[in-house]
Amino acid sequence: MPTPEERLAALGLDVPDVVPPVAVYVPAVRSGDHVYTAGQLPMRDGALMATGKVGAEVSADDAYACARQCALNAIAAIRSIAGELSNVRIVKVVAFVASTPDFTGQPGVANGASELLGEVFGDAGVHARSAVGVPVLPLDAPVEVEVIAEIVGAS
């Protein structure tokens, strides 16, 4: 069975460096067997992939790609705490989507994160989830994703 790192490589992806915080917090923290990530923005190569509201300046497809990048950044934060990814199970995902009042496709946008986590972690990537529409996110990001993971077999 391939490891999460091998699945990432098969997808043509690398775990990026942990995205530095934009304020006073840490990217992830461990409590018992769980790792809680801070909200991850769609940062790639030091910049946001897009800015604006989904349903206006940002298309649903672009927001889906942003959610996917947020999940990849969350994987980096989780790995910084857990070490390797083979002992990680994804428990909960919360996706915040900055959207226009008439946009109701938040679950489809959040699928960008959920589907990547499923591709990378297989059965260990199946999780509970919330997808929430909000008026604005930090730095005018269209999407922000938080992840709770469990380190299985932890002592």
Each residue's pLDDT, cut to its tens digit, for the chain (155 residues) gives 899 999 999 999 999 999 888 899 999 999 999 999 999 999 999 999 999 999 999 999 999 999 999 999 999 999 999 999 999 999 999 999 999 999 999 999 999 999 999 999 999 999 999 999 999 999 999 999 999 999 997 55
- Domains belonging to the chain, first-starting first, are 4-151 (3.30.1330.40)
Q: 44 near 16, Cβ under 8 Å?
A: yes
Closest CA to 73 of 119, 121, 23, 19: 19
Helix axes 60-82 and 106-121, enclosed angle (nearest 10): 40
Residue 93: half-sphere exposure toward Cβ, Cα within 13 Å: 31
